[in-house]
Amino acid sequence: MSQLSIAHVPRPMRHFTPAQHWMNDPNGLFFDGELYHLYFQYNPHGVEHGNMSWGHATSSDLVNWSEHPVAILHDERHDIFSGSIVIDRHNSSGLGDGSTAPVIALYTAAARDGSNQAQALAYSLDGGYSFTKYAGNPVLDRNSADFRDPKVFHYSGPAGDYWVMVAVEAVERRVLFYRSENLLEWDELSGFGPQAACAGVWECPDLLELPVEDSAETKWVLVLSLNPGGVAGGSGTQYFIGDFDGTSFTPDHEQPARDHTDFATLAEGAWLDWGRDNYAGVSFHGLPRNRCTLIAWMSNWDYARQLPHERWRGSMTTARKVDLLRTDTGYAVRQRFVGLPAAAAAESYGAGTHELALQGPTLIDVQARDLGEEPVRARFFRADGSPLSELLLGAQQISHQRPSGRVDHELYPSTQHMPLPPSDGRLCAQLLLDAGSLEVLAAGGLRSLTDQLTGEETPARVLLTIPGGAQSDVACTPLPQHGSTATQELK
Ligand code: FRU
């Protein structure tokens, strides 16, 4: 393994990156009625993970972001680890000033000597731009060194109306649920786990109440990141579908805890993403009930600290809307990219190789029918003609082969496999290409694969090979590039 840095890392145009310095998890996502607020794990002093604080950016469309000064700064004793934000509309905390609803951040105060992680609160009276740490911190301390990542939401249901916090005892592989009337005092409700994939620590939980398409029904989905032990290796995100009665989460299917790391066993689980680079994803607070949008960190702890960098290091995924579909085998999470323009007209391609020339970020929509054993092959090339990566799009599986490219790290080159639901020889996939990444949604959004292509421009050319006997319709939609995410270079 070597310490790297290269001359030029192109900045993604459709993904948030900070103007400078290190970034990891999204934190405190909320919508204030006009703007989406994105906070993030941030080192204000450099491109390494450290001095953890909350950076801040806002957007009206989840594509174009403006970065603001650091929202919550570390101090000599504590790092500000991941957490969430709620708007305290009825001033249940008493921290409001009588005119504006306080914006309340719950985060993990992580002792710098590693001895303790407890949940702490900071409040903002200017809509989320500047925060004051609560004098009575921490608000929830279990005397644990691995108790972190509080995600708070307002529960309103048969059991009553109150705040619920979901957090993890990371090493115990346990999700803990707490309840509060005022965001300051918390009572334990229940716990979940260990269950399913447990080969790494559990981090960044979120509990979503999602609508089921074409019904009045909702189901609860527990989203849980784990590292390592993800389906594609290293950091990954699994989910559990079930019910939350205001006290406990009960999954539809109980699973034994497994510390397997082999693909065949892991592939039996439910994964939010099958690529290498989709971690710590959480949802926005403040959206209308049953509407849910997620953003994740587009990286993997396997190599995040060693990726080549310029002034900044780290990128978010494209925002995705999520809901549930009822399928033959149960419920499944469906994702859709947010912020896409109207699709270009599709062209029909028969068997053979077709060349697509791209100019910057592009969405390629591939629909194929009558696919046999042989997959559709998409080969991506740089402007100088050299190969960049390759996707095999079959009716039963999609695979992305990512060579080391401009990254000199042993865990970076890899091939990701994503099994697809039965489809009768049909394939439907959306490929979102930007500088530095490829995101694939397939099977109508039931499958997602996110891989960084660090250090790369958007491919200049794609060779698409349609196998004999198959037919395809391909739409290539250029994506507006205005979304440079760090237009404000912070002084
Ligand atoms: C997940 C994570 C969290 C923690 C944060 C620290 O990537 O490890 O559990 O709060 O990053 O930056």
81 lines ligand 1 (CB under 6 A): yes
358 lines ligand 1 (CB under 6 A): no
Ligand 1: nearest atom to the Cα of 49: 12
Q: Whose CA is nearest to atom 8 of ligand 1?
A: 203
Distance of CA 233 from the midpoint of ligand 1 (Å): 17
Domains recognised in the chain with CATH numbers: 21-337 (2.115.10.20), 347-486 (2.60.120.560)
- The amino acid at residue 487 is T
299 lines ligand 1 (CB under 6 A): no
Q: Which pTM was predicted?
A: 0.96
Ligand 1: nearest atom to the Cα of 204: 9
Distance of CA 111 from the midpoint of ligand 1 (Å): 13
Distances (CA, A) of 78 to 40, 134, 151, 200, 250: 16, 14, 19, 24, 34
Per-residue pLDDT tens, the chain, 491 aa: give them.
344 444 589 999 999 999 999 999 999 999 999 999 999 999 999 999 999 999 999 999 999 999 999 999 999 999 999 999 999 999 999 999 999 999 999 999 999 999 999 999 999 999 999 999 999 999 999 999 999 999 999 999 999 999 999 999 999 999 999 999 999 999 999 999 999 999 999 999 999 999 999 999 999 999 999 999 999 999 999 999 999 999 999 999 999 999 999 999 999 999 999 999 999 999 999 999 889 999 999 999 999 999 999 899 999 999 999 999 998 889 999 999 999 999 999 999 999 999 999 999 999 999 999 999 999 999 999 999 999 999 999 999 999 999 999 999 999 999 999 999 999 999 999 999 999 999 999 999 999 999 999 999 999 999 999 999 999 999 999 999 764 444 443 32
The encoded tokens of residue 459 equal 């491919």
282 lines ligand 1 (CB under 6 A): no
108 lines ligand 1 (CB under 6 A): yes
Bridge partners of 191, per DSSP, are 176
Q: Where are the alpha helices (DSSP H) in 63-118?
A: none
Distances (CA, A) of 190 to 167, 174, 221, 314: 11, 10, 16, 35
Active site residue 126: no
